[in-house]
Amino acid sequence: MAKINNVGLNLGQKIANPFKTSRNSTTNPFKYSNFEGNTLQFEYADVFEGSKHSTNNKLKMITSSVAGSMTKLRSSITEPIINFVNRIKEGMSSAWDYAKNTNVSDLAGVKAINKVMNADILDIGKGIGNSISGMGKGIASKMAFLNTDVTDIGKGLSEKWNSLISKVHTNKITKDTTVDELKAMWEAEIAASASKEVA
Amino acid sequence: MNRNVAEIIDALAAHQDHASIEVLEELGTNSPDNEVREYTSRALVRKNVHDSLKIVIINQGKGINDLSPAVAMSTINEILALKDKSEVIKILDDTINMHSDEAVKENARSVKSLLALS
């Protein structure tokens, strides 16, 4: 009966918490992660924790995981990769030889700079002068164009102004306006309307 | 119609000078524009003097004898609206009795009938 009770107790405990594991509760999501088989070995590495341990422990976590991965990688390096590294090494050494044996003044960019630096100042001045005179010509032609436009605008304004003035004068018809003047105005209106119809 | 022309016609209508009637007849009643003819005919009627009324009553193609019904009716309306119709009736009677053109006589008769009814 005591055995049965013990079994019952054990069962009861298991049923009460069927998902309980032996792992300690932690907020570190990487604690049980496996970086290619390299388990993180530090206790307080937790990116979600406060700033208390985070800086040091984060660095620690990253370095340890990278180091572990590198160790693993080194053990699994295959032949073609070694060849590839060797080729790069050769390339680097030939570049180094080129840099060591080549005069700095012979480099393409340095040559161009030297050419400019050693050129006669007068030649440069001539070039700049030509450019400025060309700019001047362009500006002068633009200004001439502007002047033409302004003249045209002036003409248009003058015509509008004259027509406005003539209208004002025409509208100044009073009882004192003589019959002859009225006749002249009417004839002018007839002529204007006739010219409009022709146009 | 041009606003300036309307103002000129009004100014000529206000003039008592006989020359204004001549200008209205020469430039207004001979205008190809119906509106100008209509406005001029009404101005001549409003003058209500013998010379101006004679133009719109006895001349063929002008005033009440205009080929445009709008011009003719507008002139007749203006005649009917006159306060003093004595001069109009006198000219209409003379036209009915003495004018050579039968169409002008007929129109004068019609206007006189309208005046009697109004």
Domains of chain B, by residue range, sit at 3-117
**How do strand A34-35 and strand A38-39 relate by DSSP bridges?**
antiparallel
Closest residue on chain B to A166 (Cα): B4
Residues of A in contact with B8 (CB under 8 A): 173, 182, 185-186, 189
Please tell me if residue B32 touches chain A, with a CB cutoff of 8 Å: no
Closest residue on chain A to B31 (Cα): A190
pLDDT of residue B31: 92
Q: Measure in Å the smallest separation between the Cα of A152 and chain B Cα atoms.
A: 29
Mean pLDDT, to the nearest integer, of A127-140? 68
Higher pLDDT, A174 or B84: B84
Higher pLDDT, A175 or A179: A179
Mean pLDDT, to the nearest integer, of B11-19? 91
pLDDT of residue A77: 55
Of A171, A183, A193, the CB nearest to B23: A183
In the block, which residue shows the tokens 């012979």? A106
Residue B109: partners with Cβ closer than 8 Å, 6 or more residues away: B96
Contact A179 B19 (CB under 8 A): yes
Backbone dihedral angles phi then psi of residue A39, each to the nearest 5 degrees? -75, 140
Closest residue on chain B to A189 (Cα): B5
Residues of B in contact with A185 (CB under 8 A): 4, 8
Q: Measure in Å the smallest separation between the Cα of B12 and chain A Cα atoms.
A: 7
pLDDT above 90 (res A153): no
- A137-147 core/surface letters (b: 16 or more CB in 10 A; e: else): eeeeeeeeeee
| C-alpha closest to that of B43 among B52, B35, B34 | B52
Backbone dihedral angles phi then psi of residue A34, each to the nearest 5 degrees? -125, 105
pLDDT above 80 (res A6): no
Reported as a pLDDT band with limits 50, 70 and 90, residue A174 is confident
- Across A87-96, A122-131, B47-56, the highest mean pLDDT is recorded for B47-56
Higher pLDDT, A94 or B106: B106
Residues of A in contact with B20 (CB under 8 A): 179, 182
Residue B20: partners with Cβ closer than 8 Å, 6 or more residues away: A179, A182, B12, B13
Reported as a pLDDT band with limits 50, 70 and 90, residue A172 is confident
Reported as a pLDDT band with limits 50, 70 and 90, residue B1 is confident
> Residues A95-107: pLDDT tens digits?
777 777 777 666 6
Higher pLDDT, A114 or B88: B88
SS3 of A34, please? strand
Of A175, A180, A193, the CB nearest to B2: A193
Please tell me if residue B52 touches chain A, with a CB cutoff of 8 Å: no
pLDDT of residue B84: 92
Summary mean pLDDT of chain B: 93
Of B2, B7, B20, the CB nearest to A179: B20
